[in-house]
Structure 1
Amino acid sequence: MIKLPTVSLAAIGYEKFLWKNITELLKTGMLIIGIYYCRKIYKKLDDLQKKIDKGEQDKYDFQKKFEYSLDKIKATIDKGEQDKYKIKQEKDNIAQEKDNIALEKELNKEIEQLKKEIERKKAQFKSAWREIPLYADWRKEEFQTVKLTLDAATAHPALFLSEEGRIVTWQEPCQELPSSPERFVSIPCVLGQLYVSSGRYFWEVEVQDAHSWDLGVCRNNVARTGRVTMSPQNGFRVIRLYDGEYWGLTSPETSLTLKEKPCRVGVFLDYEAGDVSFYNMTDESHIYTFSKQAFYGGLRPLFRLWSSDSGPLVIVQVEENTTML
């Protein structure tokens, strides 16, 4: 029980201070103390509430940041998946492109093989047709048949030409002929009047008992003096009969085997195709064809005799055909 300091109060002039008032004052002091402590508690509670509110805000902010981070991670994952899908597509495209390239190479290889096979079949077919009878006669329909004569200005002095210019024979002694840059001097040749720079032409030459001769075509500007070698490289595409043997004057020469000795030789000239073919018109079989090589410049028919016992060469006057294919 609290003892009130009544003496001290009286000493200071509060003699009439009643106990009731003291009690009320005490109550008032307790109330003040209570209010003080309550205010402190309220303040602490308020601080705590603020901390709680701040914690809730931090929690909310953290959750937002977490959700944002999750969204970014998800977006990154999604982008990664998209990139992965694109990379897969690119890999698939590259693989498909490789397959296409491999397939294209394979197809090109097959096409090349087919082309070679077609060329081989064509060559076989062409060779087979050349070997059968009547092929030369059938080919004449494709070519222009010409009334060919010999060009006296080109004749070697040892060669004698008939008046109509269709027969060439060996003559001894040699004739005295005027000098001309067109005349053959080193080899006993004469050219035909025909000058070919395009188209297809055919003529026949009767060889009969002649046993040494050259027949074919040559460029108009071949060498006529000095050492002359008859070969395609030098402008000649010629076949030869010499000492009972037949030759194609290639480089080196090609030996030819004929089933039957020709009495007439047909010459087929296809300028655009680069083709010169020879046929035995006796049995209409193929003798020889020079491999296709482009012609350069004009071409002339060529005739050659070797000696006085060579025998004559006679240009056959066949019916002229102006059909051109």
Structure 2
Amino acid sequence: SFQASLIFLFSVTLKWSFHFFPPGKLQKEIDERKAQFRNGWQKSSLYPDWRKEFFQAVTITLDPDTAHPSLVLSEGNRRVTWGEKSQDLPENPQRFYSFPCVLGLQVITSGRCYWEVEVGDSQAWDLGICRPHVMRKGGISIKPEDGFWAIRSYNDEYWALTSPETQLIPKEHPARVCIFLEYEEGRISFYNMTDKSHIHTFSQGSFEGPLKPFFRLWPSDSACLTICPVLEAAQNPLC
């Protein structure tokens, strides 16, 4: 098991380190080897399923008050699709107007949680988290400095929306993405649940203040995102 392997690794490391390292360098060596072990384990196809045992699955629904007028919500506000024309919606300061985005209704302020999103064949989306107070109008920059931590699929390319953007090369097109949030640790990780591979991790150091799930669609006839129900996400290969 992972825990047994980790205990064995630490015991071997401690015995080896006592012989070769001065006391002041021992903890540094242990931390470095722990990080190496974690990085290798994160690439394992078993990792995302194992990780769910230590995270709380959360039910996410979309907040209609934040949805861009070109986005159509359905399935109990679990699905968002690109509409043929802009809807005549009430003016709302929470609504996105510059970009076709929508936020989750739920607010996350602590703990470890995850949710899954079915993207299907769509190649035009952003997924992640953001701060509730991000800009809705004008020149929006989707990057950590402006309160967004997200990845993007567009024109058969994948990007982590860092500064500058980081191109990602998944082995397979993800039909479903799992998002793991570690609030106190300041980490958000994305996994391709088609082949269980790691896509990207943002390491913020720490989060301060509330966070909300973030979704964006690009103009496309096939653009659609569906939030998987908790039970289906846990039991089915695709929701």
What's the TM-score, normalizing by structure 1? Answer: 0.62
Q: Does the residue aligned with 1:139 lie in a helix, a strand or coil?
A: helix
Work out which of the two has the higher radius of gyration on C-alpha atoms and give 1 or 2: 1
Measured in 2, the distance between the counterparts of 1:275 and 1:178 equals: 35
Q: Does the residue aligned with 2:129 lie in a helix, a strand or coil?
A: strand
Q: Which residue matches 2:164?
A: 252
Tell whether the 8 Å contact from 1:239 to 1:249 is kept in structure 2 after alignment.
Answer: yes
Q: Does the residue aligned with 1:319 lie in a helix, a strand or coil?
A: helix
Q: Which residue matches 2:212?
A: 300
| Alignment partner of 1:265 is 2:177 | yes
Map 1:57-68; keep pairs closer than 5 Å. Answer: none
Shift of 1:119: 3.4
**Structure 2 letter corresponding to 1:158:** S
| Alignment partner of 1:179 is 2:91 | yes
Shift of 1:259: 1.4
Question: Which consecutive unaligned segments of at least 5 residues does structure 2 have?
Answer: 1-20, 234-239
Shift of 1:117: 3.4
| Alignment partner of 1:196 is 2:112 | no
Note closer, same or farther for the CA distance 1:214–1:112 as it changes in structure 2 (3 Å cut).
farther
| Alignment partner of 1:150 is 2:62 | yes
Shift of 1:130: 1.1
Measured in 1, the distance between the counterparts of 2:33 and 2:69 equals: 48
Note closer, same or farther for the CA distance 1:159–1:124 as it changes in structure 2 (3 Å cut).
same
Shift of 1:172: 2.1
Q: Which residue matches 1:287?
A: 199
Post-superposition Cα deviations, 1:30-80, rounded to whole Å, max 9, x if no partner, equal xxxxxxxxxxxxxxxxxxxxxxxxxxxxxxxxxxxxxxxxxxxxxxxxxxx
Map 1:19-38; keep pairs closer than 5 Å. Answer: none
Alignment: residue pair count: 213
Q: Which has the higher contact order (CA 8 A, sep 6+)?
A: 2
Measured in 2, the distance between the counterparts of 1:311 and 1:185 equals: 18
Q: Does the residue aligned with 2:48 lie in a helix, a strand or coil?
A: helix
**Structure 1 letter corresponding to 2:94:** E
Shift of 1:139: 0.7
Note closer, same or farther for the CA distance 1:112–1:245 as it changes in structure 2 (3 Å cut).
farther
Shift of 1:125: 1.3
**Structure 2 letter corresponding to 1:237:** W
Question: Which consecutive unaligned segments of at least 5 residues does structure 1 have?
Answer: 1-108
Alignment equivalent of 1:212, drawn from 124, 127, 130? 124
| Alignment partner of 1:169 is 2:81 | yes
Tell whether the 8 Å contact from 2:55 to 2:113 is kept in structure 1 after alignment.
Answer: yes
Alignment equivalent of 1:138, drawn from 43, 50, 70? 50
Coordinate RMSD, CA, aligned = 1.8
Q: Does the residue aligned with 1:119 lie in a helix, a strand or coil?
A: helix
Map 1:97-116; keep pairs closer than 5 Å. Answer: 113-116=25-28
Note closer, same or farther for the CA distance 1:214–1:110 as it changes in structure 2 (3 Å cut).
farther
Q: Does the residue aligned with 1:268 lie in a helix, a strand or coil?
A: strand
Shift of 1:270: 1.0
Measured in 1, the distance between the counterparts of 2:108 and 2:54 equals: 16
Q: Which residue matches 2:16?
A: none
**Structure 1 letter corresponding to 2:34:** K
Map 1:3-22; keep pairs closer than 5 Å. Answer: none
Measured in 1, the distance between the counterparts of 2:52 and 2:102 equals: 25
Shift of 1:123: 2.4
Shift of 1:110: 5.1
Measured in 2, the distance between the counterparts of 1:120 and 1:309 equals: 48
Q: Does the residue aligned with 2:95 lie in a helix, a strand or coil?
A: coil
Post-superposition Cα deviations, 1:234-258, rounded to whole Å, max 9, x if no partner, equal 1100001111111111111111121
Note closer, same or farther for the CA distance 1:184–1:110 as it changes in structure 2 (3 Å cut).
farther
Measured in 2, the distance between the counterparts of 1:278 and 1:294 equals: 17
| Alignment partner of 1:128 is 2:128 | no
Query: If each structure's helix is expressed as a fraction of its own residues, which one has the higher value?
Result: 1
What's the TM-score, normalizing by structure 2? Answer: 0.84
Q: Which residue matches 1:235?
A: 147
Query: If each structure's strand is expressed as a fraction of its own residues, which one has the higher value?
Result: 2
Q: Which residue matches 2:9?
A: none
The alignment-based identity, stated in percent, is: 56
